[in-house]
């Protein structure tokens, strides 16, 4: 049989003159014959030599249309498959042709079960032109997606020129269910570039992860070393000092509790700093609302069961060397932030953990501060947060709105008398936010005595011992007694 046009220009296949009556092509359906004619004409228009019904070696197979290069470099079978066939049978026929060096492409009108099992496409017609409707794919946004329709002639031309190849992609969009798809060579290069960029990104992430793990390991090792040194210092202090005959039982218990609390404060601050560094979170700094160093340390301690708070009005007190104190559960100072070395030397400061925001401040304090009292500690216990706080920004309030700040009035340096009070029966008073009040010495430190400074009216000196407020009724009786004695 051969393809030809009728007088009305209708394409069809006709028997060769003198063909036998038992010709097999006479049993084919009109749709099958028409599809073979479309494949034949499209292959010829694509620039290939094409012939219908070409048998393979020893008659092992027969191609509906065999397209070949005019120079004889390649051959390709174009198969029109409209009848039902199983997937194993079509795979077997494809393997037989490929074994003889002839790859094959299978064409159909509907979607049979074998579509995509072997290199194949589904055809349709648009304005009497054969068009490839399904079986094409393109690479976009990191995955393979369905490509638009393409004329049969253009499809065969790209296949013959090796511009399109059969490919089984891994990353594909939802709905692209065919195993074997026809893709453009440029899309293959785009996929290779994308995979290379992804691998480079993964390699960079792995390198960064390993670097962070190494930094975390070094930081943990450094922290463990500091914890061991701190523990050794505490044990050494306990062995050297021991219970002192100068201290009462209450003072001894308070000092031991202060040592334990000081050690826990040191560890909690270091653990919180390590976690923030490991998580890549910015470290807090003084002056920033909601994330100041004192608030951060207090929150970290409260999570561990400590009840801590600080009072800003004590900033600048000589007992804390101008630093910010951090009070413990029993209203005793357990840490001081950024103390001034020129004002150091008090017993309270020597019994606290000294927290510095920068290494420069810590180095300056260690070099310039006087040694602590011999009966409290042999050296200061310091902790450096290792970050630089930004410079505070001064914002002037509007002229029409006065700024009211409730700060107790403290004695200035010019009115202070050097040295503490040594009176046997001191008469004390302290400046509270609501005004001055008379106070009296006591045995245990109270929250008020930890925050405020008391002075003796007799000698004018600062009173460093513990004191408390005088109850209202007792204060009235004492005032009445003084009035009677004056009469």
pLDDT in tens, 121-164: 999 988 888 999 999 999 988 889 999 999 999 999 999 999 99
Q: Name the pLDDT band for 285 (thresholds 50, 70, 90).
A: very low
Return the pLDDT at 348.
Answer: 79
Q: pTM to 2 decimals?
A: 0.42
Please choose, from the candidates 106, 22, 115, 114, the residue with its C-alpha nearest in 3D space to the C-alpha of residue 64. Answer: 106
The stretch 13-36 carries a mean pLDDT of: 65
Cα 333 to Cα 349: distance, rounded to the nearest angstrom: 9
Q: Name the pLDDT band for 267 (thresholds 50, 70, 90).
A: low
pLDDT in tens, 293-328: 666 666 655 665 656 666 554 455 677 887 877 776
Q: Name the pLDDT band for 8 (thresholds 50, 70, 90).
A: very low
299 neighbors 284 (Cβ within 8 angstroms): no
Q: Name the pLDDT band for 407 (thresholds 50, 70, 90).
A: very low
pLDDT reading at 206 higher than 80: yes
pLDDT in tens, 44-76: 999 999 999 999 888 889 999 999 998 888 999
Cα 119 to Cα 451: distance, rounded to the nearest angstrom: 86
Whole-number mean pLDDT of the chain?
75
The stretch 404-421 carries a mean pLDDT of: 47
Query: CB neighbours of 487 closer than 8 A, spacing ≥ 6?
Result: none
Cα 303 to Cα 298: distance, rounded to the nearest angstrom: 9
């Amino acid at each position: 049989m051969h393809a030809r046009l009728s007088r009305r220009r209708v394409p069809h296949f006709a028997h060769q003159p003198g063909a036998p009556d038992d010709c097999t092509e006479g049993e084919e359906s009109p749709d099958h014959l028409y599809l073979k004619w479309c494949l034949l004409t499209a292959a010829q228009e694509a620039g290939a030599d094409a012939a219908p019904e070409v048998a393979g070696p020893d008659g092992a197979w027969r191609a509906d249309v065999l397209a070949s290069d005019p120079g004889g470099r390649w051959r390709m079978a174009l198969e029109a498959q409209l009848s039902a066939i199983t997937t194993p049978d079509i795979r077997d026929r494809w393997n037989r042709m490929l074994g003889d060096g002839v790859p094959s492409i299978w064409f159909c009108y509907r979607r049979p079960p074998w579509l995509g099992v072997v290199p194949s496409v589904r055809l349709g017609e648009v304005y009497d032109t054969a068009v490839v409707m399904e079986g094409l794919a393109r690479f976009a946004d990191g995955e393979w997606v369905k490509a638009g329709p393409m004329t049969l002639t253009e499809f065969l031309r790209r296949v013959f020129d090796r511009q399109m190849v059969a490919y089984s992609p891994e990353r594909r969009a939802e709905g692209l269910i065919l195993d074997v798809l026809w893709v453009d060579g440029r899309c293959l290069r785009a996929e290779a570039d994308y995979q290379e960029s992804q691998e480079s990104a993964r390699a960079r992430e792995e390198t960064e992860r390993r670097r962070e793990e190494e930094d975390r390991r070094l930081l943990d090792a450094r922290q463990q070393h500091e914890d061991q040194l701190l523990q050794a210092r505490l044990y050494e202090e306990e062995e050297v000092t021991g219970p002192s005959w100068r201290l009462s039982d209450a003072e001894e218990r308070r000092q031991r509790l202060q040592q334990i609390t000081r050690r826990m404060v040191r560890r909690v601050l270091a653990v919180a700093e390590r976690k923030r560094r490991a998580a890549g979170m910015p470290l807090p700094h003084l002056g920033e609302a909601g994330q100041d160093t004192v608030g951060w340390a207090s929150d970290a301690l409260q999570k561990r069961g400590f009840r801590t708070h600080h009072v800003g009005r004590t900033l600048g007190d000589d007992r804390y060397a101008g630093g910010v104190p951090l009070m413990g559960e029993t209203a005793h100072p357990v840490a001081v932030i950024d103390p001034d070395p020129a004002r150091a030397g008090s017993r309270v400061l020597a019994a606290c953990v000294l927290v510095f925001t920068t290494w420069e401040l810590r180095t300056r304090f260690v070099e310039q501060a006087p040694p602590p009292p011999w009966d409290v500690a042999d050296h200061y216990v310091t902790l450096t947060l290792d970050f630089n706080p930004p410079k505070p920004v001064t914002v002037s309030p509007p002229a029409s709105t006065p700024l009211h700040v409730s700060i107790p009035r403290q004695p200035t340096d010019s009115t202070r008398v050097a040295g503490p009070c040594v009176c046997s029966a001191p008469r004390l008073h302290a400046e509270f936010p609501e005004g001055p009040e008379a106070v009296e010495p006591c045995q245990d430190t109270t929250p008020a005595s930890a925050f405020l400074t008391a002075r003796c009216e007799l000698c004018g000196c600062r009173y460093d011992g513990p004191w408390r407020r005088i109850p209202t009724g007792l204060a009235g009786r004492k005032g009445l007694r003084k009035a009677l004695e004056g009469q």
